[in-house]
Structure 1
Amino acid sequence: MNSVIFRVGSCFVLPFALLLSLYLLWRGHNEPGGGFVGGLVAAAGFASYALPRGYAALKRVMPIDSLQLLAIGLALALLSGLPGLLGNAAFMTHAWTELGGVAVGTALLFDIGVYLTVLGAIITFVGFFLER
């Protein structure tokens, strides 16, 4: 994958993919989409950046190790269900509150966990592919 066009184009794809993934994450927590699709788009952006450059470039642009990202995502998804248990409801019963006129709930925390889990899993796979 030593294409000059791919190498130059991926420099522009990565920031736009990350912005789009964050939009999908935020917009999708009440609509179809959310964490899974946002994580896929972010992973596609990182993969398109890393494929022509190699594993070292992927490690440079990733702010945290992909397995740690996966673990943080799983922990956030698990923690999003605890308010339901603490409120004498079923696990994963979502709670909502309003912060500065914006409705924020545990569903968003769950979607962020899914986003990080998907991103971490795919980047781990891409990292294994690039190491060879």
Structure 2
Amino acid sequence: DSGYPLTRYLMTPYLAPRTPTEERFNASLCRTRVLIEQTFGILKRKFQSLHFGLRTCPDQAVEYITATCILHNIAIDRQDTQVSYNICDLNIRDCQPQLLQDPAAPARNDGVLKRAAITNGFF
């Protein structure tokens, strides 16, 4: 969401979309954000160690999260019914961009260029 700064590796919505292309980008980004948040919720319910936060270095946290994703996928493949969630059933249609960033805050140029390239190339 726009509560974070725009960088080349972290996309935020257009604060005031001026074109239909920018509106489509915002809608797609919002749907993706919601899906990711819901996926993290699924993993946190299934793996309680994630629920309270990982108290480790970022590199180790990436390994833990990757491992939980792999274990989750193995459970799905083996039709484990202990905790069952279907990503396709999640409701991601009613989504509005969260505009939390100060509109006066400057966006980083590399992020602006990357977002424009994605917007123009895919939307």
**What is the TM-score normalised by the length of structure 2?**
0.31
Q: Which structure's relative contact order is higher, taking Cα pairs within 8 Å and 6+ residues apart? A: 2
Q: Which has the higher helix share?
A: 1
> Normalized against structure 1, the TM-score is what?
0.30
